[in-house]
Chains A and B, each alone.
Chain A
Amino acid sequence: MDTKTKYKEPVNVLVVGVGGQGVIMVSKVLATICQERGYQVKQSEVHGMAKRGGGVFSHVRYGEQVFSPTIPKGSTDVLLALEWAEALRWVNHLKPGEGTFISDTQHIVPPFACRNRKRGAEAGYSRETPDQILSRIKDGFALDATGMARELGNERAANTILLGILSTALEFPEDTWRDVISRFVPPKTVDINLQAFDQGREWARTVHENSDLAARHRRSEKLAPAVPGPDRDEMSDFVQLDINPDWCKSCDICVKMCPERCLKLDDRLKAVLTEPDRCTGCRICEWLCPDFAITVHRTPEAAQAAVRV
Chain B
Amino acid sequence: MGRNAAAAVKKISNVEIRPLMGNDAIARGAWEAGVRVAAAYPGTPSTEILECIAVFPEEDIRAQWSTNEKVALDVAIGASFEGVRALAVMKHVGLNVAADALMSMTYIGVNGGLVIVVCDDPGIHSSQNEQDTRILARFAMVPVLEPSDAEEALAYTRAAFDLSEKFDTPVILRSTTRLSHTRSPVTLAERIDLPRRDFNENPKKNVMIPSHARIRHSALIEREKKVAEFFETFELTRWEKAETDVGIVTSSISYGYVKEVLPNASILKLGGSYPLPEKTIRDFAASVERLIVVEELEPAIENQIRIWNIDVKGKEYFSRMGELSPELVRDGFIRAGVLTPESGVADVFEIESTPRPPVLCPGCPHTSSYMALRQVEARVAGDIGCYTLAAGEPLSAIDTCVSMGSSIANAIGMEKSGVETRPIVATIGDSTFLHAGIPSLIDAVYNDADITIMLLDNHTVAMTGGQDYPGTGKTLRGKETHHIEFEDICRAVGVKWVQTVDSYDLAALYKALREAIDFKGVSVLISDRPCVIDPVKIKGETMTVIADNCTACQSCMNTGCPSISWSDAWFDGRHKVKIDPNTCIGCALCPQVCPSDAIQPLDRS
Enumerate chain A interface residues (CB-CB to B < 8 A). 1-7, 18-19, 24, 28, 31-32, 35, 40-55, 66-74, 85-86, 88-89, 91-92, 94, 96, 109-115, 117, 119-121, 123-128, 133, 136, 155, 224, 226-227, 229-230, 235, 256-257, 259, 261, 280, 282-284, 287-288
Contact = CB atoms under 8 A, between A and B. Distances in A.
A115 B264 CA distance: 51
Contacts of A96: 345, 348
Contacts of A72: 260, 325-327, 330
Nearest to A231: B573
Given A96-B348, A117-B554, A127-B352, 8 more contacts: A4-B263, A49-B126, A54-B358, A68-B259, A113-B355, A113-B565, A114-B575, A283-B553
Contacts of A71: 326
Interface stretch (B138-146, B416-424, B479-487, B555-563): B555-563
A97 to B, nearest CB: 8
Pick the 8 closest A-B CB pairs, nearest first: A119-B573, A48-B126, A48-B44, A54-B358, A67-B259, A85-B354, A68-B260, A5-B263
A212 B572 CA distance: 42
A92 B351 contact: yes
Given A42-B149, A113-B565, A88 B354 contact: yes
B113 interface: no
A220 B23 CA distance: 42
Contacts of A126: 351-354
Contacts of A3: 261-264, 339
16 contacts: A4-B263, A46-B181, A49-B44, A51-B533, A54-B358, A54-B359, A67-B256, A69-B149, A72-B260, A114-B564, A123-B565, A282-B554, A282-B572, A284-B595, A287-B596, A288-B595
B151 to A, nearest CB: 10
Contacts of B551: 282-284, 287
B243 interface: yes
Interface string B179-211: 101111100000000000000000000000000
Interface stretch (B50-58, B79-87, B95-103, B386-394): B386-394
Contacts of A123: 565-566, 575
B570 A227 contact: yes
Contacts of B149: 42, 69
Given A53-B358, A54-B359, A69-B256, A43 B19 contact: yes
Contacts of A28: 183
B257 interface: yes
A69 B253 contact: yes
B347 interface: yes
A96 B572 CA distance: 45
B492 interface: no
A112 B357 contact: yes
B552 A282 contact: yes
B22 to A, nearest CB: 9
Given A54-B356, A282-B554, A224 B259 contact: no
Contacts of B596: 287
B374 interface: yes
B125 interface: yes
B359 A53 contact: yes
A47 to B, nearest CB: 6
Interface residues of B, number: 88
B562 A42 contact: no
B557 A133 contact: no
Task: Specify which of A68, A96, A120, A284 lies most central, judged by the most chain B CB atoms within 10 Å of its CB.
Answer: A68
A47 B596 CA distance: 39
Nearest to B576: A227
B348 A136 contact: yes
Task: Specify which of B178, B245, B564 lies most central, judged by the most chain A CB atoms within 10 Å of its CB.
Answer: B178
A122 B487 CA distance: 47
Contacts of A91: 348-349, 351
A133 to B, nearest CB: 7
A67 B260 contact: yes
B358 A49 contact: yes
B88 interface: no
* B contact patch SS: loop
Contacts of B178: 44, 46, 69-70
Interface of B: 1, 17-19, 44-45, 125-126, 149, 177-179, 181-185, 243, 245-246, 253, 255-257, 259-265, 325-327, 330, 333, 338-339, 345, 347-349, 351-361, 374-375, 386, 389, 393-394, 463-465, 533, 551-555, 557-558, 560-562, 564-566, 568-570, 572-575, 577, 582, 593, 595-596
B568 A224 contact: yes
A284 B597 CA distance: 12
A125 B354 contact: yes
A45 B180 CA distance: 10
B566 to A, nearest CB: 5
B317 to A, nearest CB: 14
A68 B148 CA distance: 10
A52 B386 contact: yes
Contacts of A287: 551, 595-596
A35 B18 contact: yes
A112 B355 contact: yes
B354 A70 contact: no
A1 B557 contact: no
A117 B595 contact: no
A49 B126 CA distance: 6
Contact of A235 (B264, B558, B573, B593): B573
Contacts of B355: 110, 112-113, 124
Contacts of A35: 17-19, 185
A74 B126 contact: no
B356 A112 contact: yes
A229 B570 contact: yes
Given A31-B19, A68-B326, A48 B125 contact: yes
A236 B71 CA distance: 62
B548 to A, nearest CB: 13
B326 A41 contact: no
Given A69-B253, A72-B330, A257-B555, A42 B184 contact: yes
A45 B568 CA distance: 35
A54 B354 contact: no
A128 B325 contact: no
A52 B359 contact: yes
Contacts of B566: 109, 114, 123
Contacts of A7: 263
B348 A85 contact: no
Contacts of A133: 349
A70 B253 CA distance: 11
A111 B351 contact: no
Nearest to A91: B349
A73 B330 CA distance: 11
B201 to A, nearest CB: 45
A85 B184 contact: no
Contact of A40 (B184, B265, B354, B568): B184
A70 B349 contact: no
Contacts of A32: 19
B349 A115 contact: no
Nearest to A92: B347
Nearest to B148: A67
Contacts of A48: 44-45, 125-126, 177, 463-464
Contacts of A6: 263
